[in-house]
Amino acid sequence: MEFEAVIGLEVHSQLLTDSKIFCSCSTAYGAPPNSQTCPVCLGMPGTLPVLNRRAVEFALKMGVATHCQIASFSTFARKNYFYPDLPKGYQISQYELPLCRAGWLDIDLPDGKRKRVRIRRIHLEEDAGKSIHDQALAGEQTLLDFNRCGVPLIEIVSEPDLSTPAEAHAYLVALKQILVYLEICSGNMEEGSLRCDANVSVRPLGTAVSGTKTELKNLNSFRNVERALAFEIERQIALLKQGKPVEAETLLWDADAQQARPMRSKEEAPDYRYFPEPDLVPLEVDPAWVERVKRTIPELPEEKKNRFRQQYKLNDYAAQLLTVRREIADYFEALAKRCPDYQLAANWMLREVLRVVNERKISLQEFPLSPQRLAELLQLILDRVVSQTAAVTIFEEMLHSRKSAGQLVDDLGLRQISDEQQLAAVVEEVLARNQKLAEQYRGGKTKVLGYLIGQVMKATGGKADPVLVNRLLREKLKTT
């Protein structure tokens, strides 16, 4: 019997507000432990939460971007459980009436098809602190850092619309892209600003049976999500094939061992005793607020990709890569505005600009070359002042020079040799040295032309106009 998986994801995303959700402490990552705390986020007796409106606004952005219905009236609730990094003994979350519900998101599948994934709900909540178990630092003791405690989160819960680990991956990629585009989440999984739990069950292919589902936790990278799902789906199918039942349980993914280990059974699942948070008044969002938020939503990756394909005549691949992040797309558009050859601009973005950015692990804001300066260089290529090869050399130089591309052409002596006589001499010389190849060419083995062009380029230190070299070589090979 063939089986298929039914997967739903719960994604926690830290919001990039300056201050925490219920107090004015900073949310900056990486500060010394417990330096960003106050009586409110430490849950000291008598203190009270006050809702950060900016966190609500960010959650609304995500709700609008994923086509959710925005609740004009939503409430906060307490999720009660004991844990040392949860100072109040409860997490303030939303339960019965979340801020956003019933949305959707289209994702691109690896086979080129598209799929609509429904979003069940998006709600606001506060993050907990961090427990640190570090043998070297504290032996058997647990250390607590409350800097993260009270950082605003949204939890985005999908419907169980995903069928394969690859789809789950594609969904996460799309979700992260939107979050980052909206500038409401850094999307950094290593820093924990994006976290994912998965619910998964399997059923005979093509049926509507709902199998027993398990929950996977600790999926701390996109790759781990895919691997853990693959592992768990395989495990469940193997059980069913042996005629054994799947137990409803929560599993913890062990990335080192590449396997999921049981954490607790359904019977052991905690009773969170949710009830309405009496310290906060219900959250009211009027249509005018939603309208204001709508106006701030930028062009999202999906629309931008489609526009790039049409407006700049780019292929899917280039359009996809150039819209991965907003800053890349913005840089490209600034460049394209000054460079009539969009394909050339796209190639330079993908081959050179992104290479440097990735090598140096910097953002495009930190990239030393403005689109204007790069456009000047590309113009030199278009004007056949420099060759592509020489342009790369100039580009490298520009990264740590204030000089313009035009200046550097001369400083580096890279002006393209377009003088026909001068080049004809070099061509003759190269052919003289490679008579055998010339023979082969004439004998129909035209592939050798590339090698010969390379030889001419080499002889001219890469400065020869390749178009001209090409023509001269062909002519000479024909005539002699």
Catalog residues that contact other proteins under the rule CB under 8 A. Answer: 39, 42-51, 78, 80, 82, 84, 87-90, 144, 271, 273-275, 278-281
- Residue 215 beta carbon to other proteins: minimum distance, rounded to whole angstroms: 17
With a CB cutoff of 8 Å and minimum separation 6, the contacts of 441 are 448, 449, 452, 477
Which CB sits closer to other proteins, 205 or 281? 281
As a 3-state breakdown, the chain gives helix, strand, coil percent values, each rounded to 5, of 40, 20, 40
Which CB sits closer to other proteins, 34 or 221? 34
CA angle 56, 299, 53 (to 5 degrees): 10
- Residue 302 beta carbon to other proteins: minimum distance, rounded to whole angstroms: 38
- Residue 274 beta carbon to other proteins: minimum distance, rounded to whole angstroms: 8
Cα R_g (the chain), whole angstroms: 30
Which CB sits closer to other proteins, 86 or 174? 86
Which CB sits closer to other proteins, 50 or 209? 50
Which CB sits closer to other proteins, 89 or 461? 89
For the chain, the farthest-separated pair of C-alpha atoms sits apart, in whole angstroms, at 97
The partner residues of 200 in beta bridges, in order of sequence, read 7, 214
Distance CA 214, CA 233 (A): 10
- Residue 268 beta carbon to other proteins: minimum distance, rounded to whole angstroms: 13
Distance CA 182, CA 62 (A): 8
- Residue 38 beta carbon to other proteins: minimum distance, rounded to whole angstroms: 9
- Residue 199 beta carbon to other proteins: minimum distance, rounded to whole angstroms: 19
Could you tell me where the beta strands, DSSP code E, fall in 223-338? 249-254, 259-265, 275-276, 283-284
Which CB sits closer to other proteins, 116 or 273? 273
Which CB sits closer to other proteins, 248 or 334? 248
- Residue 285 beta carbon to other proteins: minimum distance, rounded to whole angstroms: 16
Pairing of strands 77-80, 90-93: antiparallel
| DSSP letters spanning 383-427 | TTSS-HHHHHHHHHHHTT--S-HHHHHHHTT---B--HHHHHHHH
The two tokens of residue 26 are 């900073």
